[in-house]
Amino acid sequence: EDQVTQSPEALRLQEGESSSLNCSYTVSGLRGLFWYRQDPGKGPEFLFTLYSAGEEKEKERLKATLTKKESFLHITAPKPEDSATYLCAVNGAAGNKLTFGGGTRVLVKP
Amino acid sequence: NAGVTQTPKFRILKIGQSMTLQCTQDMNHNYMYWYRQDPGMGLKLIYYSVGAGITDKGEVPNGYNVSRSTTEDFPLRLELAAPSQTSVYFCASSWEGASGNTIYFGEGSWLTVV
């Protein structure tokens, strides 16, 4: 059974204070690791897909990296508008569906 | 760009009542999904469909039913609502399944069972 654990559960940052979110996973045959952003009262919004260890993707102040056991979402010089819950999910050998972690709630204070 | 549309947005049900959450997508995606999200938790898959006429159970299917008569629509039926079904429900869709393809989510349906 695929499993995803995200840490920390919550993160409070000052504007400009860079940090990293962790996503540890156990999966039989990784077919993709996904990062989503979720704002309060909204559905998850797609950020990145990573497929193999060593892969990196960037979007504005966000950078996602992948190893064989975990993924990191680095937030560089965050702004208050980066405040959201960040969700990690994996698609394993069973295919056709994502297994999500519990998310990390990020609050960036001005 | 409508994307994935869910109705209703909010609903209060009494224990034992039944209801249907509607979901429609206009992207011609073959895969559709229903997830639930409890407070402070990640999303758990209830049911999914790989195409019209084909559905399969996810992690937490008990107490729910689905049907997929068209590519566009994937309603979720709650029979005999229980307090444990109080949650936020998200419908989603994608091309060819989760592997290598983006899953697009609706805005969510907040359900309270009292």
Give the model's pLDDT for residue B1.
Answer: 63
CB A84 within 8 Å of CB A38: yes
Give the model's pLDDT for residue B101.
Answer: 67
Q: Is residue B109 part of a domain?
A: no
Q: Is residue B103 part of a domain?
A: no
User: What is the span of the domain harbouring residue B57?
Assistant: 4-96
Q: Is residue B113 part of a domain?
A: no
Q: Is the pLDDT of residue B96 over 80?
A: no
Domain spanning A3-109: which CATH class is it, in words?
Answer: mainly beta
Judging contacts by C-beta atoms under 8 Å, the chain A residues touching residue B102 are 46, 49
Q: How many domains does chain B have?
A: 1
Q: Cα–Cα distance between A24 and A83 in angstroms, integer?
A: 22
Domain CATH number, residue B91? 2.60.40.10
Min distance B99 CA to chain A CA atoms (Å): 6
* Residue of chain A with shortest Cα separation from B43: A100
Q: Is the pLDDT of residue B100 over 70?
A: no
Q: Which residues of chain A have pLDDT under 70?
A: 95
Give the model's pLDDT for residue B49.
Answer: 95
Using the Cα atoms of residue B70, residue B29, residue B96 and residue A103 in order, give the sign of their dihedral: negative
Q: Is residue B102 part of a domain?
A: no
Q: Across the interface, do A97 and B106 touch by the CB < 8 Å criterion?
A: no
CA proximity to B34, closest of B113, B102, B85, B89 = B89
Q: Is residue B57 part of a domain?
A: yes
Residue B99 has which token pair? 């592997």
Burial class (CB in 10 A: 0-12, 13-18, 19+), B101: middle
Q: Cα–Cα distance between B75 and B6 in angstroms, integer?
A: 9
Give the model's pLDDT for residue A52.
Answer: 92
Please, what is the average pLDDT of chain B? 92
pLDDT digits (tens, 9 = 90+) for B85-94: 999 999 999 8
Partner residue opposite B48 with nearest CB, options A41, A49, A96: A96
CA angle B5-B8-B11, nearest 5°?
150
